[in-house]
Amino acid sequence: MKKKLVLINSDSSIDENNVVIVIDWLDYYKQGWIKINNTEKLVVLNINQTDLSDDIEFKILPQKISFKYPEDILSYWCRNGKLQIASESTLQLNINHDYSINYLSKEFKVVSEFLLNRIEAIENRIGRQNDYLINKYQTLEIAKVLGLNIPRTKIIFSVNELRKFKSNVGRIITKALNVSSISEGEYLYTKGTVEVTEAEISDLKTIFLPSLFQEFIESKFEIRVFYLRSHFYSTGIISFGSQSADSRDIDPRVPPRFVPIALPANLKLKLSKLMNRLNLDSGSIDLLYSNSNEFVLLEINPMGQFSFYSYICNYYVEKIIAIELCKKTRNPGLD
């Protein structure tokens, strides 16, 4: 009997190390796999529809690897990936009229969305292509309803409102509403989370683009969590210097300490409910433990990095992901 394969879709320019370590574990368990990057094409060769199922033939270019779905695929892991689905005819199109290209693109978009839905409907799947599209502001609103503590947050687009907000809460920070980085070729530009000073407010125009602002919460330590199917791999980040708005701003003279921690059961329950509401089976969760002894949710990042924290805390997250991908059916929880 032909052994089924694990299909991996990833953006090799962002987190190749995470994926490589998982693949090493798949090799260790003698589990075959296929990996497709964002720059490659997933070409559909044939769709054989019956009353019971859809048998779809694909070929990956330029790798020239062919497989049938779902016949050849055991599980699917989308890790920062975006499948570039095409057909042999769309690859050969040579049309000079913009309206024709626009029409044909919309026609094939229906097909590509159907194919993506079929791939993501596999029983054992970790991640989806559009997981990153969660709305940060709505996520915090849902978290608040579920009983989680969140910073006072507001979307502001005028200097007057920003000054009022700062007057009410004290120190404030800002972060991107959508993606926090821009890629250009081999470079990745990121701003992260920054504190907003009165001097910076004075430099703003009266009206500016709607932006996310939050109160700056003094904390005893920050927490980075990798969540996978109701299981939490949590790392406490204890800083010994002055507290920064972004824990990634590390003073090399006073490096932070990273320690594995266990979250309270009631907090894990609320976070699991939040991830379920967001329809996420994996992702990174940013928390802090405030000076008033409260856990505060900062944000959810469906595509957050985990290898550094996995390594420093001996969590072996990559091994656990590989073990999950080797199964035919998904486990709703790993506990």
Q: Which of 92-101, 206-215, 296-305 has the lowest mean pLDDT?
A: 92-101
Q: What integer pLDDT is reported at residue 72 of this predicted model? A: 94
Q: Measured between alpha carbons, how far is 96 from 197 in angstroms, rounded to an integer? A: 52
Beta carbons within 8 Å of 52's beta carbon, 6+ residues apart: none
Q: Measured between alpha carbons, how far is 192 from 309 in angstroms, rounded to an integer? A: 18
Q: Measured between alpha carbons, how far is 251 from 258 in angstroms, rounded to an integer? A: 14
- The residue with tokens 């990936």 is 81
Type of residue at 78: C
Average the pLDDT over 197-208 and give the result: 87
Q: What integer pLDDT is reported at residue 14 of this predicted model? A: 62
Q: What integer pLDDT is reported at residue 303 of this predicted model? A: 86
Confidence of residue 179 (pLDDT cuts 50, 70, 90): low
Mean confidence (pLDDT) of the chain: 87
- The residue with tokens 């199109």 is 93
Residue-wise pLDDT for 32-87, tens only, equals: 999 999 889 999 999 987 766 778 999 999 999 999 999 999 999 999 889 999 98
Q: What integer pLDDT is reported at residue 244 of this predicted model? A: 57
Superfamily classification of domain 135-149+218-301: ATP-grasp fold, B domain (3.30.470.20)
Q: What integer pLDDT is reported at residue 329 of this predicted model? A: 72
Residue-wise pLDDT for 91-109, tens only, equals: 766 655 566 667 777 888 8
Q: What integer pLDDT is reported at residue 164 of this predicted model? A: 94
Smallest Cα–Cα separation from 217: which of 177, 169, 271, 285? 169
Confidence of residue 335 (pLDDT cuts 50, 70, 90): very low
Using the 8-state DSSP alphabet, how is residue 63 labeled? T
pTM: 0.86
Residue by residue, DSSP assigns 178-243 as S-SEEEETTEEEE---EEE-HHHHHTS-SEEEEEEEEEPPPEEEEEEEEEETTEEEEEEEE--SPP
Q: What integer pLDDT is reported at residue 330 of this predicted model? A: 66
Residue 208 has pLDDT above 60, yes or no: yes
Average the pLDDT over 292-298 and give the result: 97
| Angle formed by the axes of helices 317-325 and 12-28, nearest 10° | 70
Phi then psi dihedrals of residue 322, to 5 deg = -60, -45
Using the 8-state DSSP alphabet, how is residue 30 labeled? T
Residue-wise pLDDT for 10-36, tens only, equals: 886 666 788 999 999 999 999 999 999
Ranges 94-98, 179-183, 191-195, 259-263, most confident: 259-263
Angle at 295 between CA 292 and CA 297, to 5 degrees: 125
Q: Which of 141-155, 220-234, 249-263, 294-308 has the lowest mean pLDDT?
A: 249-263
Q: Which of 105-114, 137-146, 188-197 has the lowest mean pLDDT?
A: 188-197
Q: What integer pLDDT is reported at residue 202 of this predicted model? A: 85
Residue 213 has pLDDT above 90, yes or no: yes
Residue 1 tokens, joined = 């009997």
Residue ranges of the chain that CATH labels 3.30.470.20: 135-149+218-301
Average the pLDDT over 307-313 and give the result: 94
Higher per-residue confidence, 305 vs 297: 297
Residue 173 has pLDDT above 50, yes or no: yes
Q: What integer pLDDT is reported at residue 248 of this predicted model? A: 55
Q: Measured between alpha carbons, how far is 314 from 29 in angstroms, rounded to an integer? A: 20
